[in-house]
Structure formats: structure tokens, C-alpha cells
Amino acid sequence: MADEPSGLSELALLWRSRKLFRALTANDLNVRYLGSSIGFFWTVVNPVIELATYTFIFYVLLDVRFHVGQTTGQYVLRLFCGMVAWNAFADGLVRATSAITTHAHLIRKVNFPAVVLPAQMVASAVVNQLFRTAVLLLATVLIGDGLSWHVLLLPVFMLAQSAFCLGLGMFLAVLQVQFRDVAHWVNATLMIGMFMTPVVYPASVYPDRFKLLLYSNPMAQYIGIYQNLLMEHRLPTAATSVLYAFLAAAMALVVGASVFSHNRRRFADLV
């Protein structure tokens, strides 16, 4: 059939609706910080508060040292690097999951491109990630070892991470339409997932018997790559990490877009 829905057609629809996508993303960013005293600066203030909290608990209160001779600055930068990536992923995924059900009034409109909704949620999280990354880069110059040319590769892997988040978000958005408690499960899983992902600790301390969890976790690969490029000024030593990062992004996007496309016509009847 010529009109058979597919993941590729859904992504093509997103591209054709790029003006609407940009407008909704900009509106979402404005609405999120509308009326607050410092506005968009909250996108930096919130993670800095979290960073200070985790640093105090793990580094000061519990005196956790993962490397011999590790300075406070080194720990803070590695932690912030992991938090920037994880927060963008979690924020985008949570909001993409509920994107269809929270915008039922738009879904019921004739010919509205539903794919724009989860996509603009992920895009909004990516914009926040860019601002936080800028703060991270500045901090690396001020209290770290500076920057190297490897930082130029960060956008490539941020794009891969965004594709992974979008694909997973589209898949979960379909489930949320049919089972309204999916969003609650996503929140609970992400809370557990943060502490199973090397964010507040390095991947090297992962027990050998649980290494399969580490290797099968796409976010662990993205965060490890960011730390390699930014903190250690080197390319990832394991080619499998890079391969897995792109493979996870491609698979999530293809599966998520396909599932979304095959269920899109039912949204108006279910939301």
C-alpha cells in the first residue's frame, strides 16, 4: 500500500513540520521559565544545586575517593559531566513519554503531526543540555585541565544521545496512550537508572559480576565518551563503546518511529 505507515515516513513528516517543531520548542522553553525571577537561568541553577549536594554527600560527608590523589575539582567536573548528560536524557524521556496525553487538544485536530510533540520535548531538553555544557566547558577551563580539540566531537555524540532519547520517547509515548501509568514507571526506573549508571562514580568501580549491566546501558556509554573527550582529552579507547552508542541511537530511533507511526492514527480515539 502506498500509504503504509513506517518509521521513515514519520521522520520525514517531522522534517516537513520543522517550522512548527521549532515554534513549539521555543514556546515550551518560554513557558517552562515564564514568571520566574531568573527565568532561563534556572536551567543552570538547578544542576549546580544538585552538583553541590552530591559533592557534599559523597566527597565531603562520606569521604568517597575513587582515584588516588583525586582532587575536589576533578571529582566535581566528572560528576557534573555525567549529570549534564543524564539530566538531559531523563528530562527529555519523561516529557516525551507524556507528550501525546498532555496535548490531547492538539492530537484531536485534523492532520496535526503528532510526531512533533515528543520531538520538541527532547529538543527542549537538548537546548538545556547545551547551556549546561557551556557552563561545564567554562568550569573545565577554570578548575580543570583545560580543553583540547576532542571537545569538537561532543556535538556528534550529543546528537546520537538525542536520537536514542527520541526513539525511546516515541515508543513510550505510544504505551502511555494505552496504559496511563507508564509515565510513573518511567520516573521510577530513571531514579534507579541514575545510580546504576556511572554518574556519581566512575565505571571502573563497577563489580565484575554486574559488568553486563554496565555494557548494556547506552547512557553509560555516552557518559563515558563525554568524560573521555572532555576530562581525559582522548578518544574512547574502546571502539565498541562508540559503535554501541551509534547502534543504540539508530535502533531506538527506527523502532520508536515505526511503533509510533503504526499507532498514530489511533491517538485521537484514545487520548
Q: What is the pLDDT of residues 63-119, one digit of tens each?
A: 766 665 677 778 888 888 999 999 999 999 999 999 999 998 889 887 899 999 999
Cα 140 from Cα 60, distance rounded (Å): 21
Higher pLDDT, 32 or 220: 220
Give pLDDT, residue 68: 56
Mean pLDDT of all residues in 34-53: 73
Higher pLDDT, 8 or 88: 88
Nearest residue to 262 (alpha-carbon basis) of 2, 4, 13, 14: 4
What is the Cα gyration radius of the chain?
A: 19
Cα 66 from Cα 201, distance rounded (Å): 7
Give pLDDT, residue 234: 92
Residue 31, CA distances (Å) to 25, 193, 267 in order: 10, 28, 25
The SS3 call for residue 71 is coil
Q: What is the pLDDT of residues 180-238, one digit of tens each?
A: 999 999 999 999 999 899 988 888 888 888 888 888 999 999 999 999 999 899 998 77
Residues 6 or more apart whose Cβ sits within 8 Å of residue 61 = none
Name the one residue in this structure whose C-alpha cell is 555524540. Answer: 157
Residue 52, CA distances (Å) to 58, 72, 125, 145, 221 in order: 10, 11, 21, 20, 24
Higher pLDDT, 57 or 12: 12
Dihedral, 249, 32, 182, 222 alpha carbons, nearest 10: 20
Give pLDDT, residue 40: 66
pTM: 0.90
